[in-house]
């Protein structure tokens, strides 16, 4: 007899890359969701915080947030079901998709090379792709990849990697980093508003529960 279950299917964390003007996103879902994620927030305050009267509490913008995580990749399952791609290339396609997040477009590199060859004085460096870090519906963040390391742990007879661990470091791009006309500006602002809404859910505790009485603080 089959039993129904209300257990929801786990969502996949992912990185989504866009190379404008091409609107087609490259979605890189984690094969296995990382078991842990380290986040740090550096407050952007005005002045040194020593004295300054009311300026001691002023913020110049959103904190600088960094995220670090390790993602594991394994081609074993694909090899067991007879995947021709896994048999021929191992994990190379998955690793290439991730590594291209820190590469400029080769077409732009070639175009700039031609411009330099014909004597163009100023050549604009090519842009990295726009990257979104998605960790559930409540965390969709524009990020810049700042750290990237790969440990290849096992290989097939063709020396294709079939087990690997990728360590990623990301800096969240806030409205401090983006122009108001950039859609990512509004994406981060929506994230900020969502965080404020969620925080209200946790404001059930009263002051007396931590001071032990009707103590006046201000």
Give the global pTM: 0.84
Q: What is the pLDDT of residue 56?
A: 74
CB-based contacts of 128: which residues, under 8 Å, 6+ apart?
101, 102, 103, 104, 144, 145
If the chain, 218 residues long, is cut into consecutive pieces of 10 residues, what is the mean pLDDT of each piece? 64 91 88 95 75 72 95 93 94 95 87 86 82 94 96 96 96 94 93 92 72 70
pLDDT at 50: 57
């Amino acid at each position: 007899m089959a039993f129904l279950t209300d257990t929801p299917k786990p969502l996949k964390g992912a990185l989504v890359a866009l190379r404008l003007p091409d609107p087609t996103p490259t979605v890189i879902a984690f094969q296995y969701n990382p078991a842990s994620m380290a986040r740090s927030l550096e407050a952007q305050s005005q002045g040194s915080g020593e004295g300054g009267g009311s300026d001691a509490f002023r913020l110049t913008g959103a904190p600088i947030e960094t995220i670090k995580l390790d993602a594991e990749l394994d081609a074993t399952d694909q090899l067991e079901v007879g995947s021709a791609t896994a048999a021929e290339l191992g994990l190379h396609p998955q690793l290439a998709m991730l590594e291209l997040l820190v590469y400029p477009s080769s077409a732009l590199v070639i175009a700039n090379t031609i411009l330099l060859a014909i004597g163009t004085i100023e050549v604009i460096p090519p842009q990295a792709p726009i990257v979104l870090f998605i960790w559930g519906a409540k965390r969709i963040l524009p990020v810049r990849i700042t750290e990237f390391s790969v440990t290849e742990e096992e290989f097939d007879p063709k020396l294709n990697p079939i087990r690997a661990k990728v360590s990623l470091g990301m800096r969240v791009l806030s409205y401090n980093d983006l122009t108001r006309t950039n859609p990512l500006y509004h994406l981060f602002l929506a994230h900020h508003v969502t965080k404020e809404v969620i925080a209200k859910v946790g404001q059930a505790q009263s002051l007396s529960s931590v001071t032990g009485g009707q103590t006046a603080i201000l």
